[in-house]
Amino acid sequence: MYKISLMDPSDLEASYDIEKRTNPSPWSKENFFSSFEVGHKSLVCKLKKRIVGFVIYSNFKKESHLLSIAVDKDLQRKGAGSLLLKSMISQSKALGAKKILLEVRMKNKSAIAFYNNFKFVEDAVRVGYYTGSDPDDALLMSLDI
């Protein structure tokens, strides 16, 4: 059974390994670790003490911004991502947020479907948002909570 907990410094390496394996343009290690240090909110999902996923988000007044969410490839589509997102939504509500915002690659049809299942709406497109070896546009999505 999955267990959600606050990310702590000892979880960073394993979480970053998942980031590198699942994201076509992963954050740099420095950015990933500094996100934790600057106070972004973060949760991990564990299965028998193994970190299998994480979510990182920022909260400012009435909005939360989902910065990154990932689940190890061998456990995708098995409930860990949904549990992480539900937990993030609950925490955001507790922090006073009324809306959650995110960007997702236009090519990532499974992620878009995942967010649509949670009733996120498609707001706009940022052309050329993702650069590097796998450039893409970003679909901006939001959820009123």
Q: How does pLDDT run along the chain (145 residues), one tens digit per residue? A: 999 999 999 999 999 999 999 988 889 999 999 998 898 999 999 999 999 999 999 999 999 999 999 999 999 999 999 999 999 999 999 999 999 999 999 999 999 999 999 999 999 999 999 888 889 999 999 999 9
Residue-averaged pLDDT of the chain? 96
Residue 133, pLDDT score = 82
Q: What is the dihedral of CA 41, 19, 13, 101, to 10 degrees?
A: 0
Q: Is-catalytic flag, 2?
A: no
The angle subtended at Cα 9 by Cα 6 and Cα 10, nearest 5°, is: 95
- For the chain, what are the domain ranges? 2-144
**Looking at 63, 103, 129, 130, which residue is catalytic?**
103
pLDDT tens figures, 40-81: 999 999 999 999 999 999 999 999 999 999 999 999 999 999
**Looking at 16, 57, 115, 130, which residue is catalytic?**
115
Q: What is the DSSP letter of 82?
A: H
Q: Is-catalytic flag, 103?
A: yes
**E strand or H helix at 48:** none
Report d(CA 76, CA 4) in Å as an integer: 16
* Assigned fold of 2-144: Aminopeptidase (3.40.630)
Q: Which amino acid is present at 69?
A: I
Helices (H) and strands (E) in the chain, counts: 4, 7
Overall residue count recorded for the chain in this entry: 145
Contacting residues for 80 by C-beta, under 8 A, at least 6 apart: 2, 45, 47, 52, 53, 71
Report d(CA 139, CA 77) in Å as an integer: 21
